Structure 1
Amino acid sequence: MSSSSSSSDEQPTTRRIRHLTLHLNPPPPQPPPSTINLQPCSSSSSRARKPNVNVTTLSSYLRGNNRDIQEKVFDYFNNVRPDLQTPIEILKDDYRELCMRQLMGVVNEAGVKPFQYVSDDPMKYFAIAEAVGSVDMSLGIKMGVQYSLWGGSVINLGTKKHRDKYFEGINNLEYLGCFAMTELHHGSNVQGIQTIATFDPLTDEFVITTPNDGAIKWWIGNAAVHGKFATVFAKLMLPTHDSKVVSDMGVHAFIVPIRDLKTHQTLPGVEINDCGHKVGLNGVDNGALRFRDVRIPRDNLLNRFGDVSRDGTYTSPLPTINKRFAATLGELVGGRVGLAYTSVGVLKIAATIAIRYSLIRQQFGPPKQPEISILDYQSQQHKLMPMLASTYAFHFATVNLIKKYAEMKKTHDEQLVADVHALSAGLKSYVTSYTAKSLSVCREACGGHGYAAVNRFGSLRNDHDIFQTFEGDNTVLLQQVAGDLLKQYQEKFRGGTFAVTWNYLRESMNTYLSQPNPVTSRWEGEDHLRDPKFQLDAFRYRTSRLLQSAAVRLRKHSKTLGSFGAWNRCLNHLLTLAESHIETVILENFIEAIKSCPDANSRAALKLVCDLYALNRIWNDIGTYRNVDYVAPNKAKAIHKLADYLSFQVKDIAKELVDAFDLPDHVIRAPIGRQSPGEAYAEYTQYAGF
């Protein structure tokens, strides 16, 4: 008989007296009752055994096959050129020059050539990006601008002639470039940009024009100081037989030289200004670009999806402006993939610093006994352990995203392209938002020492904050995910097939939306709560209900408000739907990663962490489950209790879990985050001058 059944026989008066007595005389912390199994995997044992985590084995599983190239980056800055490490205090202009020297050093001295991997081996490219970003986030972004954005646009939107002409110069940093999409008045709405590229058949050139101040290209990385070229996104205008009329062919990309290759002087017709000091990432030289009738050869049109012949005839393999635009943006999705993956790298650093410090910092404790570490406090566990679990969950989800992206680059499968587009939008939004919040939590968890610049939370938080905005504002990206979900929902009723990521909805729509099972809604045993099927069912059920109710609400409001008004009326609902779906995908990936792990001890540790991730998320949204009777009150209490105890269990292996990230002290670069507790305070006091 369950504990809830036996307690239900207790008289109300007796139960109230017992509860009051417990409030007045709380017992010391003890393991939960024997009805809760404490094993990382299903078992009838009532006592928890700490998983025997082999850090090397777990780390090898996490880091995969690209550890060597990351170590090459780390070794360069630690042993070859330690003088290139970023100091804590540095002026903006000095920082920009240092960041440029860092990039030149990695590429031309250390011999790490990221550009060759952008298309051919994305997993290796993103591994380099993670390592470089761990050394300095500005350096990571500057590398991304050069190779993923500027270089990626040339090889993904151009054709063989562009690759042959520009590849080597981009690869060796001779052709430093920019990615000029965002304008002063337009960011997320790329189809609304106003810069114009008009074809002149008399000279066989395009004329690039900024028609008004709102069309000035803004926040363009590499533009203020170092860039020599820019991929400029503009509306392609073709003259007609009537010389006063031009045809708008939609947004296309053009290679526009902005500085002289030899003198580095700004070229005629190009105006460049500095966007100035920013909240973070001040090693990146963001600038603003205005074009006053700048002429470029016709060959500078990146013509993979649309071309103009010598006589001004437009041709394209795609029939409409919207399809060409979608194909263009689809080829640029690598930026979002990289940001999601890099954001997890930032979260690993922050979690490592906060958890290591929480293990060595001792404060208070039982009377006349030694002080205890602050990680022994339930409140600290509540802050940090679900975050550590999320870090692992995000790692496996973003690794899977990169694998999908690499497969997409090889096959160009239409369904996979759509899948990666939606998944990258959702993961980039969800992960970067979570990391941004977690950086503040980590700072607070380290008290006053977290406020010291040398311990990095300030710079990590400031540098990472913009991840929520560039490569697509997070709120806009979540709307894309919601829109894709609704499209898939409509396809179901037309007899169509679901895209890969949405497969679970096929079953969800038929099964989960029926009345919740009154028996399973009351099951509260640990074997059930830690069963991946229960966890996935709960996540999928929530997404399915949100999707169905969103569709019904949109249909209702569309009758009176129109489609745009209905969307706006339901916007918060749609954002919640998108987040719910992404959480489901993350959990699915975590469960699959555990199954694929070859080491039994690592599997046990990962299962424990995964259970904490799942149950913590369910508890955080317990109101939703209670409102529809998916979870009965006694089961909700059991979920809460078990989630708390799983945090306690994860705490016991927290050191091993962060050590498995395999981030050396010279990469962490925070005295309170050193691996050796004895060295942490010693380095910190030395920094202060003692």
Structure 2
Amino acid sequence: MESKVIHTTEYNPTAEEDQDQSIIRRIQRLTLHLNPTLPSRQLDHLQLLTCSARAKISVNAQQLSDYMRGKHRDIQERVFEYFNSRPDLQTPIEISKDEHRELCLRQLLGLVREAGIRPFRYVVEDPEKYFAIAEAVGSVDMSLGIKMGVQYSLWGGSVLNLGTKKHRDKYFDGIENMEYLGCFAMTELHHGSNVQGLQTVATFDPLTDEFVINTPNDGAIKWWIGNAAVHGKFATVFAKLMLPTHDPKGDSDMGVHAFIVPIRDLRTHKTLPGIEIQDCGHKVGLNGVDNGALRFRSVRIPRDNLLNRFGDVSREGIYTSSLPSINKRFAATLGELVGGRVVLAHSSVGVLKIAVTIATRYSLLRQQFGPPKQPEISILDYQSHQHKLMPMLASVYAFHFATLNLVEKYSEMKKCHDEQLMGDVHALSAGLKAYVTSYTAKSLSICRESCGGHGYAAVNRFGSLRNDHDIFQTFEGDNTVLLQQVAADLLKQYKEKFQGGTLAVTWNYLRESMNTYLSQPNPVTARWEGEDHLRNPKFQLDAFRYRTSRLLQSVVIRLRKHSKTLGSFGAWNRCLNHLLTLAESHIESVILAKFIDAVRSCPDASSRAALKLVCDLYALDRIWNDIGTYRNVDYVAPNKAKAIHKLTEYLSFQVRNIARELVDAFDLPDYVTRAPIGMQSPAEAYTHYTHYVGF
């Protein structure tokens, strides 16, 4: 197929330029004939979809939704329908902190005891279903989603994942039916992301066969502990396990372990002796979650309360573990807690779906200005507005498929416990959680701005969505720290590549074609600007992976250079911004690869064409946003950069034409989006909005 050259009224090529383009097209066609593997045969059929790019795509929102929502659609609809049937459990726009906390507890109790949805059993039996419930519950009220996560994923998950059979037998039923409301006490006032630096201590007393939990200083007070301020009865407390020895220097530090510590009486709910609990107070958002601070003063717990999957202490005070070192045990412990990152990444996409749905529907509804003496036009018909929202809509789709793949990988990992897959999920969950939550946080403000003054009304939800979601960037791992974990893993994989080791699945492209990606750009292909070429998935994926490979190679050289004078820590800090850019670039490559797979796998032709359009916009928008990097290494010539920019704007226009169908495919009922300006029926939007203020 001959490539099409993009022409617009802004650009009239000279005869010499026309001749250059003709030569380039001929070289391109000859190259394709001589090397048919250049556009991967697996992706050929996707290129054919570009033939109809100039016509408006017809898409059936219901068929696209069926493909998007997948096998757990029913459980999500059960959640939605339950809360729709209980107006008394719906969160009002104005509510005090204390009222919100009690409402959140009643919401969760209702979901479990009345609606009969038991999320805890799915943590073990079907993680994919648990994450689907979490996304739906977070759509009802983000505070409720977090409270459910604290109870079942964090407190409950720590008992299941870090404990053994005796703990599951004792606590499972109470956690599931919410008789045993609990906390996850890891973060301290002075330590959050650096879990190995926690200062709380648990010293074994062989005379009484107990552990003694102590907060040695104010910096070790457990802080921001969900469920602690009001409702919690137990806490999983992370502390350094200290064993008495005959060494006159003191105790033996066995590293950070997890312990079940009762904090309130089960019958009276009074705080137990030695436990001090303070309320962390009003927060920027998520005020339905009762965050508290915990101090322990010589709190004694039975030896059996040690969650002993990776390390145990005998009655005689002898420590045993199947893992040989503190670092190995620590890594295994944290490796079992990645589910929190998975659910945050997945739920963040759910938040973005709501915001983009509201902003898109309002932008189609709202009319403003227009040609002289003619009707006003929709604000989404303005190119500037398309530039704000359409790449964001494309990103929602990209993130949906990427996080869905992460959930599937996590579920598989929990079943097979494959060590390589565990490493893959750990790095991927860290990167996607950081990338997606940061993007969503920025996008929520853009969505608010795109709706003008009406976006500022609390009833239209952007304020609460933005405030409640903001902390997603911090908890379960600060995003900057998580991106450094991804970069460190990339460096490890790079080293493995050149030592003949086996690469994890996520890094396959480094093994398969690192030499190709690190080779000098082809001066001919650097000038190709035809639409078929730019919309070829192979070109897009190669561009993403080339950037990542260049960043990886260059940061390795820089780290080696600076290590000689600054040491390893100093060199890392000197290259930190470079490392963060590398991690983000890699995650974008993974996201695009999963999106391309999803397009290829879509069985419905019209839905596949729509997804291809959206995927192209996602890819080219990301390339254009970092066009300086590609220009600096001559991967993209000036004419090609200009063509990418023009095509990105045109694809935004094309996506605008099916924007209503694309957001409808998220299948979010009006009683879930709960924003008058974002209702499915344009005729009802202003009516409901004016009715809210009393007209």
Question: Is the aligned partner of 1:329 residue 2:334?
Answer: yes
- 2:29 aligns with none
Please tell me the residue identity of whatever aligns with 1:71.
E
Q: Is the 8 A contact 2:47 2:537 kept in 1?
A: no
Q: How many residues align?
A: 663
- 2:23 aligns with none
Displacement of 1:45: 5.0
- 2:186 aligns with 181
Q: Is the 8 A contact 1:196 1:210 kept in 2?
A: yes
- 2:568 aligns with 563
1:148 to 153, 164, 185: 153
2:73 to 67, 77, 82: 67
Residues in 2 aligned to 1:41 and 1:537: alpha-carbon distance in whole angstroms: 15
Q: C-alpha offsets along residues 510-542 of structure 1, whole Å, 9 cap, x if unaligned?
A: 111111011111111111100000000000000
1:193 to 187, 191, 198: 198
Distance change >3 Å, CA 41–CA 682, structure 1 → 2: farther
Q: Is the 8 A contact 2:5 2:531 kept in 1?
A: no
Residues in 2 aligned to 1:121 and 1:619: alpha-carbon distance in whole angstroms: 40
- 1:318 aligns with 323
> Which contiguous aligned blocks of 4+ residues in structure 1 show a shift greater than 4 angstroms?
1-6, 43-47
Residues in 1 aligned to 2:136 and 2:191: alpha-carbon distance in whole angstroms: 32
Displacement of 1:424: 0.2
- 2:510 aligns with 505
Please, which moves more after superposition, 506-515 or 678-687?
506-515
SS at the partner of 2:243? strand
Displacement of 1:56: 1.2
Q: Is the 8 A contact 1:256 1:296 kept in 2?
A: yes
Displacement of 1:243: 6.6
- 2:82 aligns with 76
Q: Is the 8 A contact 1:354 1:443 kept in 2?
A: yes
Question: Is the aligned partner of 1:581 residue 2:586?
Answer: yes
Please tell me the residue identity of whatever aligns with 2:69.
R
- 2:35 aligns with none
* Aligned pairs (5 A) from 1:191-590: 191-242=196-247, 245-590=250-595
Displacement of 1:47: 6.7
Q: C-alpha offsets along residues 567-594 of structure 1, whole Å, 9 cap, x if unaligned?
A: 0000000000000000000000000011
Displacement of 1:506: 1.6
Q: Is the 8 A contact 1:41 1:607 kept in 2?
A: no
TM-score (norm 1): 0.95
Q: C-alpha offsets along residues 32-90 of structure 1, whole Å, 9 cap, x if unaligned?
A: xxxxxxx99536857722222111111111111111111111111112x1111000000
Q: Is the 8 A contact 1:508 1:544 kept in 2?
A: no
- 2:55 aligns with 49
Please tell me the residue identity of whatever aligns with 1:59.
S
Question: Is the aligned partner of 1:653 residue 2:658?
Answer: yes
* Aligned pairs (5 A) from 1:1-12: 7-9=13-15
Q: C-alpha offsets along residues 126-148 of structure 1, whole Å, 9 cap, x if unaligned?
A: 00000100000000000000000
Q: Is the 8 A contact 2:83 2:90 kept in 1?
A: yes
SS at the partner of 2:13? helix
Displacement of 1:214: 0.3
- 1:160 aligns with 165
Please tell me the residue identity of whatever aligns with 1:554.
L
- 2:613 aligns with 608
Residues in 2 aligned to 1:50 and 1:644: alpha-carbon distance in whole angstroms: 15
Please tell me the residue identity of whatever aligns with 1:630.
Y
Distance change >3 Å, CA 73–CA 452, structure 1 → 2: same
Q: Is the 8 A contact 1:508 1:540 kept in 2?
A: no
Residues in 2 aligned to 1:138 and 1:129: alpha-carbon distance in whole angstroms: 11
SS at the partner of 1:232? strand
Question: Is the aligned partner of 1:662 residue 2:667?
Answer: yes
* Aligned pairs (5 A) from 1:126-145: 126-145=131-150
SS at the partner of 1:326? helix
Residues in 2 aligned to 1:577 and 1:257: alpha-carbon distance in whole angstroms: 44
Please tell me the residue identity of whatever aligns with 1:320.
S
SS at the partner of 2:518? coil
Q: Is the 8 A contact 1:426 1:477 kept in 2?
A: yes
Q: C-alpha offsets along residues 461-505 of structure 1, whole Å, 9 cap, x if unaligned?
A: 000000000000000000000000000111111111211100001
Q: C-alpha offsets along residues 411-430 of structure 1, whole Å, 9 cap, x if unaligned?
A: 11111000000000000000
SS at the partner of 1:235? strand
Please tell me the residue identity of whatever aligns with 2:126.
D
Please tell me the residue identity of whatever aligns with 2:116.
G
SS at the partner of 2:237? strand
Distance change >3 Å, CA 493–CA 459, structure 1 → 2: same
Q: C-alpha offsets along residues 326-346 of structure 1, whole Å, 9 cap, x if unaligned?
A: 000000000000000000000
Residues in 1 aligned to 2:52 and 2:84: alpha-carbon distance in whole angstroms: 48
- 1:98 aligns with 103
Residues in 1 aligned to 2:443 and 2:350: alpha-carbon distance in whole angstroms: 13
- 1:639 aligns with 644
Q: Is the 8 A contact 1:375 1:381 kept in 2?
A: yes
Which segments of 5 or more consecutive residues in structure 2 lack a partner in the other structure?
18-44
SS at the partner of 2:229? coil
Residues in 1 aligned to 2:577 and 2:58: alpha-carbon distance in whole angstroms: 44
Displacement of 1:234: 0.1
Residues in 1 aligned to 2:483 and 2:50: alpha-carbon distance in whole angstroms: 42
Residues in 2 aligned to 1:85 and 1:50: alpha-carbon distance in whole angstroms: 40
Please tell me the residue identity of whatever aligns with 1:668.
T
Distance change >3 Å, CA 391–CA 45, structure 1 → 2: closer
RMSD after superposition: 1.5
- 1:681 aligns with 686
TM-score (norm 2): 0.94
Distance change >3 Å, CA 560–CA 225, structure 1 → 2: same
Distance change >3 Å, CA 662–CA 44, structure 1 → 2: closer
Residues in 1 aligned to 2:323 and 2:418: alpha-carbon distance in whole angstroms: 16
Please tell me the residue identity of whatever aligns with 1:447.
G
Q: C-alpha offsets along residues 617-675 of structure 1, whole Å, 9 cap, x if unaligned?
A: 00000000000000011110110000000000000000000000000000000000000
Residues in 1 aligned to 2:239 and 2:162: alpha-carbon distance in whole angstroms: 14
SS at the partner of 1:252? strand
- 2:24 aligns with none
- 1:120 aligns with 125
SS at the partner of 1:198? strand
Displacement of 1:241: 2.4
Residues in 1 aligned to 2:540 and 2:670: alpha-carbon distance in whole angstroms: 37
Residues in 2 aligned to 1:533 and 1:335: alpha-carbon distance in whole angstroms: 34
Question: Is the aligned partner of 1:620 residue 2:625?
Answer: yes
Residues in 2 aligned to 1:632 and 1:223: alpha-carbon distance in whole angstroms: 58
Residues in 1 aligned to 2:145 and 2:550: alpha-carbon distance in whole angstroms: 40
Residues in 2 aligned to 1:683 and 1:40: alpha-carbon distance in whole angstroms: 43
Displacement of 1:91: 0.5
